[in-house]
A and B are shown apart, each in its own frame.
Chain A
Amino acid sequence: MKKIGFVAALILFGVAILSTRYYMVDLPVYHFLGGGEVLDPATLHLQGEFVESNLGAAEGPSGSLTVRMIAQQFVFVPQCVQVPAGVPITFRMTSADVVHMLSFLGTDYGLKVVPGAVTEATFTFAKPGTFKIPCHEFCGAGHYAMRGQLNVVPPDQFASLLPGERRTCELR
């Protein structure tokens, strides 16, 4: 009888954990289990979509915008990205070394960036503005100074991208 109670308690505990924390915790292994692409963080600069000439805001399929960024100790590359407001923007990010997390300060959005995996999410920024992007996961000695910037401009001020153009901006 005691054993049944113990097992039941364990199951209940498990259910409680699953129903509350499980979906909140984004472990790196989920990215790999989910069948996402697996990259070698050491060779990002040699080939693939995260070579340095391909970073920044680019025209994605069917006219949508795709922003590609690398998070690494202790800078985001590119440090500043310009996107239009009110348009869905797809972020594709990866890390070159350790797990980073970023939040767009002043908006509801954030991302977790895992080495070896591509984090993809689509956000729509309703209002124009300048949003700082601090690193939100301790990544090393320079973590607190790791900061990028997102410039959301009104759609009419966003000059349309030329074919092959990658839009970045100056961090101020």
Chain B
Amino acid sequence: MALCVITVLLAGKDSPGQSSAEPGSAKPGSANSASAKPVNAEPSVRVPSNVAWTAQIVKIASGGDAFRGLLLARRCNHCHGEEGFSSVPAFPNLAGLDRLSFWKQMQDFRSGKRASPVMQPIAEGLSARDSADLAAYFAMLPTASDAQDNRAFPQTMHEPPRATIAIRLIVFGDGQRGIPPCQSCHGPVSYVKGAPPLAAQNGDYLEQQLEHFADGNRANDINVRMRSIARQLTAEEKTAVSEYYGAGLGPGVNSR
């Protein structure tokens, strides 16, 4: 009986998935062609991401089916762990990720706006609906610790004194240099659409992404938000913040 349900769900994956791929990508595409006229005379337009948080797209991204996501998530388990926690600290943890941020990253991998030789072919095999289902599933996974699971997650800080730098940036930011506090967008104080929670994220991954944002290798953030901030951070601050979050010390729901 259960097997039957699984087969039906997997078989139904392709056709509705393909059709629901349209709304996710149609809106930005049509918007682009409609008004390419005034800017084309100017420097070439760079679009960081095809995802825009219109009401329609928020509905698609957050309306996934977690059970279908559970079945699809088997292809993620190998790198991102059975419980959404990867065993390699350079790979991101997916457990407890916010639906919108997960969905946006999958769309950006698919369109190549976020370059990744590993993730792009995988994301190309997933429709907008598949990504929404996966997002619903991973958003549901708990971030509580589990001794049975082979996860890299809480790693010890290499230099504990750096924790003070990290706390200052996470809680207060640095207004003089235009760095807002991490927790004002990534939670738990407040959230901004598309900003992932960081409390259960791997430190190595975070540091690598901060560096990519700073040097422009990763440029899929809407309106240059994260690039502006990462550019202002010193190498030591990047390491401190990443290690602090990677040690499971960062503020957040169920962070430990």
Which residues of B come within 8 Å of A, CB atoms? 28, 31-32, 34-36, 38-39, 42-50, 52-54, 172-181, 183-185, 189-190, 192, 222-225, 228-229, 232
| Interface check A127, CB cutoff 8 A | no
B241 → chain A closest CB, angstroms? 15
> Inside 8 A of A58's CB, which chain B residues have their CB?
42
> Inside 8 A of B46's CB, which chain A residues have their CB?
51-53
Q: How many residues of A contact B (CB 8 A)?
A: 41
Are A141's CB and B189's CB within 8 A? yes
Are B178's CB and A43's CB within 8 A? no
> Inside 8 A of A141's CB, which chain B residues have their CB?
181, 183-184, 189-190
Q: Which partner residue on chain A sits nearest B50 by CB separation?
A: A46
> Inside 8 A of A79's CB, which chain B residues have their CB?
178, 228, 232
Q: Which partner residue on chain B sits nearest A73 by CB separation?
A: B192
Are A45's CB and B44's CB within 8 A? no
Are A74's CB and B184's CB within 8 A? yes
List 19 contacting pairs A-B, 8 Å CB cutoff, sorted by A. Answer: A45-B223, A47-B34, A48-B39, A49-B38, A51-B46, A52-B48, A53-B42, A70-B223, A72-B225, A73-B192, A74-B184, A77-B225, A77-B228, A142-B185, A144-B175, A145-B174, A147-B178, A148-B178, A149-B178
| Interface check A128, CB cutoff 8 A | no
| Interface check A35, CB cutoff 8 A | no
> Inside 8 A of A172's CB, which chain B residues have their CB?
177
Distance of A45 Cα from B221 Cα, bound (Å): 10
Nearest 3 interchain pairs by C-beta: A142-B184, A142-B180, A74-B180
